[in-house]
Structure 1
Amino acid sequence: MSIGNVSAVLVHGAWADGSSWSEVIERLKAHGIHAVAAPLPLSGLHEDVAALDRTLERIDGPVVVAGHAYAGAVIGSTRADNVKALVYIAALAPAEGETVSDVFYRGEAHALAPKLSPDRHGLIWLPEEAFAAAFAQHASAQELTVLSAVQRPISVSSIGEPVGRPLWKDRPSWFLTAGQDRMINPDTQHFMAQRMNARVHSHQVDHTPIVTAPDVVTDVIVEAVQAVSAR
């Protein structure tokens, strides 16, 4: 099986959309890997998993699914047969019975992490200043402008729903831990990566390396794709 037979599905997290993967998509294409960004409504974990499954249904052949941040819970909750490996990018990986909130708040918050609370619609928005302070402190001014402009809020119900048996118990997984993450405690990332027995790549990147360190992210996804294609 050649690397070209394995597709990559890229899943955005909270306060982002599929465009956050644009730099990675271009690099994967240069490696001969077809990539699709799965759009999530961020309206509830169950609904987000259903949205991912709809994207996976459209793809023939084996798939490596990569999730950033909140999307780690989403990719771990799919049961799609064509998913052959999982890649966590500074992501949250709840175990069975845990919620996104459980793991997100497990470690001590960074001093510059934003204080989050829902609006009257039950949606959590990221304060504009938090993009430069904590979400992507290594981003350029232009990148920050776009990130802030396209942000999508996440529903409270998305982070409060317990997950079932996570797929990482049954599929190989990779984990890029972000040493300069100000949103998800790096120690929490290492804890999750170790308990899921993931292949760990640790880098001194911020919370959103899919934007600020796309080469590093691409390398991890390519490694997972090559492992799947070699089977």
Structure 2
Amino acid sequence: MAESDVKVVLVPGAWADGSSWSKVINGLQTKAISTVTVPVPLTTLTDDIAAVDRTLERVDGPVVLVGHAYAGAVIGAVRNPRIKALVYVAALAPDEGETVADVFYQNEPHPKAPKLGPDQHGLIWLPQEAFGAAFAQNASAQELAVLAAVQRPISPACISVPVGRPLWKDVPSWYLLAEQDHMIVAETQRFMSERMKAQVSVHPVDHTPSVTAPDRVVDLILQAVREVRD
């Protein structure tokens, strides 16, 4: 199987959109790897899983499915036999019967983590100042401006529903552990990645390395692509 035959599907997490993967997409394109992002609605976990399924209908061949942050729960809940590997980027990985909130709040939050709660419409937005303090503190001012401008709110319905048997129990998984993460503390990431028996890559990066350390993310995805190819 040629490396280019393996497709990479990228799923953004809460408060982000497909543009958060732009540097990773460029890096994968230099390796001739076809890549698409999933426009998740962030309305319910079921809706987000369905959005991944619709995207997979547009993609042929074996897939490496990649999720950032909240999207770790989404990629673990997809059931498509063409998914041959999962890559978690500072991502949440609830086990069967757990909710996203269960693992997100497992440990004490970082002192710079924002206080989150729904607005009058029942949507959770990331406070403006949190982008530079916790979401991507290593980003440039220009990158932070874009992240804040395109942010998409998440519904509590995404994080309060227990998940079924996660796919990481059935396919090989990789995990980028972000040591400088102010949103999901490294201790929580370490617990999840070890429980998954994932191949872990630890880096001194923030919560959104797809923006601030894209080469690290590309390298990890390529490891998964090569294993699927071989």
| Range class of TM-score, shorter chain | over 0.9
Aligned partner of 2:178 in structure 1 is: 178
Identical-pair percentage: 65
Aligned residues between the structures:
230
Aligned partner of 1:213 in structure 2 is: 213
Aligned partner of 2:164 in structure 1 is: 164
Aligned partner of 2:153 in structure 1 is: 153
Question: What's the TM-score, normalizing by structure 1?
Answer: 0.99
Deviations 1:5-46 (A, max 9, x none): 000000000000001000000000001111001110000001
CA distance in 2, matches of 1:76, 1:120: 30
Amino acid at match of 1:225: V
Q: Establish whether residue 121 from structure 1 lines up as the match of residue 99 from structure 2.
A: no
SS at match of 1:123: coil
User: Following TM superposition, by how much is the alpha carbon of 1:120 offset from its aligned partner in structure 2, in angstroms?
Assistant: 1.6
- Structure 2 counterparts to residues 1-231 of structure 1, below 5 A: 1-230=1-230
CA distance in 2, matches of 1:202, 1:229: 24
User: Following TM superposition, by how much is the alpha carbon of 1:81 offset from its aligned partner in structure 2, in angstroms?
Assistant: 1.2
User: Following TM superposition, by how much is the alpha carbon of 1:122 offset from its aligned partner in structure 2, in angstroms?
Assistant: 1.2
CA distance in 2, matches of 1:107, 1:137: 21
SS at match of 1:76: helix
CA distance in 2, matches of 1:33, 1:227: 14
CA distance in 2, matches of 1:39, 1:17: 7
Displaced runs of 4+ in structure 1, greater than 2 A? none
CA distance in 2, matches of 1:203, 1:108: 21
Which ranges in structure 2 are unaligned for 5 or more consecutive residues?
A: none
User: Following TM superposition, by how much is the alpha carbon of 1:106 offset from its aligned partner in structure 2, in angstroms?
Assistant: 0.4
SS at match of 1:47: helix
CA distance in 2, matches of 1:166, 1:33: 26
CA distance in 2, matches of 1:191, 1:135: 20
User: Following TM superposition, by how much is the alpha carbon of 1:196 offset from its aligned partner in structure 2, in angstroms?
Assistant: 0.6
SS at match of 2:85: strand
SS at match of 2:77: coil
CA distance in 2, matches of 1:203, 1:61: 31
CA distance in 1, matches of 2:24, 2:5: 18
CA distance in 1, matches of 2:141, 2:119: 27
